[in-house]
Structure 1
Amino acid sequence: MNVAVDTQLPVQRIGFARKSKAYFALTKPRVIELLLVTTAPVMILAQGGIPNLWLVLWTLVGGSLSAGSAGAFNCYIDRDIDRVMKRTSKRPLVTGELTDREALVFAWVLGVASIVWLAVLVNLLAAVLSLAAILFYVLVYTLVLKRRTPQNIVWGGAAGCMPVLIGWAAVTGSLSWTPVILFGIVFLWTPPHYWPLSMRYRADYASVNVPMLAVVRGRTVVGLQVVLYAWATVACSLLLIPVAPMGILYSVVAVLAGGWFIFEAHRLYSMAIRHDEVKPMRVFHSSISYLTLLFVAVGIDPLLHF
């Protein structure tokens, strides 16, 4: 099936408050929230205690601008399929609250502002990593991978791992094995987090020829991949214990929360094998809770020894 023709909807006259809300929605704020959850705790771990609070603020603001820019570019590039998919029917370029030009200008302004902000107020390495995240998400994931391969979210998800590197670089001015492992946790977590969502919206992705794994493979295959990546995620999280090193709090949370995440992944797979009604959003939501708990433990654990 061909994707609908990309036509610009008539421009609506809307008030300042509604316009501002539309710009905010363009940044994909829920994604930003998740990225911030992984940034601040890493800064505490890098410092071995509470870092300079101004530095934390500058880093979180710069990271939010960077992620918002990537999200806005994504909405602009994918506006043709967003106008077809039900899941994205409320996005501002679909509703006509923003024009294509407004979205593109906004994306560029946020992107440039984020790089300058981080370079001036944090450090050059954080700014370079932020630029790399934007370019990877926009050029590699959105333009190259998303519409061409079911592995899109696997490799494209690397952009979402950059905040842990940015947070570490903001405090130390360098990188080491600890942030690399943290990067690996988020990288391996992304597929079992997103693939259940793609199962829920399989028809949407199929309607616009986006080859998400759930579109090109059966539920059993997707369920098995979710299980394998969940195990890999938890295994990677345990590597942080001897390398960082982490204390008892992180160790307990990593084991218990990781066990819960794996259980939910196996539950999804079992339901797919038995041809029961699959509830993929349960794994989707539990994956968010798992990552949040894990990174909260990353931030609290060093404070117990401060």
Structure 2
Amino acid sequence: MPSPRFTVAYALTAKKTRSFMQPKLEAHARSRGITFVALDRNRALTEQGPYDVILHKLTGKEWRQELEDYVQKFPEVTVLDPPAAIQQLRSRQSMLQEVADLKLTHSDGQVRVPKQLVVEGDSSCIPTSVAETGLKLPLVAKPLVADGSAKSHAMSLIYDRFGLSCLDPPLVLQEFVNHGGVLFKVYVIGDAIKVVRRFSLPDLSEKDMGYGVKSFPRVSSAAATADEADLDPEAAVLPPQRLLECLVAELRTRLGLSLFNFDMIREGGSGGRYYVIDINYFPGYGKVPDYELLITDYLVDLARRKGKKLGSEEPDLDFEECSSAS
């Protein structure tokens, strides 16, 4: 007798659908008893299904209302993830607050956030605000809204007071922390953790300081992977697994999210002081090696917790299991 299917309906942008809903994911999920179904955006959501899970990355009040109506009609559905929780990550004013409040100190290191200032008014007031807040140049400027667009990932490096006056609010200013030119992208899928190295901005000394403003593209995603690069061995060492597990467990609870990633740097490229500088909901998992296995394992576990007994067919691909947060 065939195992019952576990149906995951998805509502994603066209770009996210192409990158995430790859044939290897659908095939592997199908082998484990999971079926993906694209939601029809031309029909009322409440007229479709019922489904076991709704996987989404859409925004707007209308979509949030549709999800609320659907959950009211089908209370057994699991929405990944709750819109209210996702909303916190759409502003760089709020996204790092949970990390700042956490002040995680662990035997394997410390986790902090950079000092930052939110600027929403006249740019001419920025130099005074920076001075009053005590931020030290250089500073990294990022758009206040983090909606996943290319514009929201643009950033600039501000070297002096003149550069501060040239900025276009609303934005967030973060103190630049030397970190050995390496950024760690930590992907979270339920309890699973996958860390990928990326090239980042190089360290700056007084002799490297420029003038005004220097703009950069989306540094961490535009750069090639740093995993195979000839890096300083000390800077390339991944953050301790136990520290990551503790941090991820705390963030999952505080943010109320299961699918997200965060960018982490190590102060000075060595030692045990780390900074979380950005958090993103439902990131580009398609760039993560063996993501289809991690996603499927998470959905299988979710099905079991919902009382669904799926087939036990094991995947025929080899990959290194990620450790789970306790």
Q: What TM-score, normalized to structure 1?
A: 0.34
Give the helix-richer structure, 1 or 2. Answer: 1
Which structure carries more strand by proportion? 2
Q: Taking structure 2 as the reference length, what is the TM-score of the superposition?
A: 0.32
